[in-house]
């Protein structure tokens, strides 16, 4: 199967290695088949909430299985994900949200205090996914996401030139700058790395990035 977008990786791996572990964090893991289903459920929730192709969605999570689900679920919705450091100062987070016109965040209840503060101070946010507490704006818990029916669900058409993610610089030399990557550029980097290090389906790769 030819790969053209980052989401093709999930569909391809789910077909070839459905029961293989896709991600593992602490004592939790998810297979490629489970990842394909869960990311589609998240994508449907995002689309039903109003997320459109080309929108930017914030990922406001620590390292966990839900982080991987968030990334690929956002991509499946046709949107681009923007990693947001939950340990960053409130002012930086607000600036990043405004810079990217982010209206939806994917997070967890662990970020309750910070999410509540962000919502109170940022009227542009329309929805928080992965959050079970009541807020003045729409919230959808992970339990609701993972019980979403995929009946009649049709994923939006994604092409390789679509924006996939925005990575911000540290801002140590001034204002943080967002570097935009398409599916093509992200997938090209993944393919290059896999070839360079001869990665095969039996390998496990550790993630040490923030």
Residues 116-170 have pLDDT tens digits of: 888 887 668 999 999 998 999 999 999 999 999 999 898 899 999 999 999 988 7
Q: pLDDT band for position 210 (50/70/90)?
A: low
Q: Answer whether 0.85 is exceeded by the pTM.
A: yes
The C-alpha angle with vertex 91 and arms to 122 and 130, in degrees rounded to 5, equals: 55
| pLDDT computed for residue 124 by the predictor | 85
Task: Show the tokens assigned to 35.
Answer: 């990842």
Q: How far apart are CA 111 and CA 125, in angstroms?
A: 16
Note the pLDDT tens digit of each residue in 179-191: 999 999 999 999 9
Which of 189, 164, 168 lies closest to 178 in space, CA to CA?
Answer: 168
Q: What does residue 200 show for φ and ψ, rounded to 5 degrees? A: -125, 170
């Amino acid at each position: 199967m030819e790969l053209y977008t980052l989401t093709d990786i999930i569909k391809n791996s789910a077909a070839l290695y459905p029961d293989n572990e896709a991600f593992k964090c602490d004592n939790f893991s998810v297979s490629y088949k489970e990842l394909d289903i869960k990311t589609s459920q998240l994508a449907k929730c995002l689309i039903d909430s109003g997320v459109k192709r080309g929108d930017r969605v914030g990922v406001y999570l620590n390292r966990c299985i839900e982080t991987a689900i968030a990334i690929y679920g956002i991509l499946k919705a046709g949107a681009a994900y923007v990693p947001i450091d939950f340990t960053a100062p409130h002012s930086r987070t607000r600036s990043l949200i405004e810079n990217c016109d982010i209206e939806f965040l994917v997070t967890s209840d662990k970020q309750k205090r910070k999410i509540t503060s962000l919502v109170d101070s940022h009227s542009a946010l329309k929805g928080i996914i992965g959050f079970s507490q009541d807020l003045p704006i729409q919230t959808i818990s992970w339990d609701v996401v993972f019980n979403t029916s995929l009946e009649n669900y049709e994923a939006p058409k994604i092409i390789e030139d679509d924006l996939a993610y925005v990575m911000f610089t540290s801002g140590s030399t001034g204002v943080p700058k967002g570097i935009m990557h398409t599916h093509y550029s992200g997938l090209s980097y993944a393919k290059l790395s896999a070839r360079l290090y001869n990665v095969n389906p039996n390998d496990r790769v550790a993630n040490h990035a923030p």
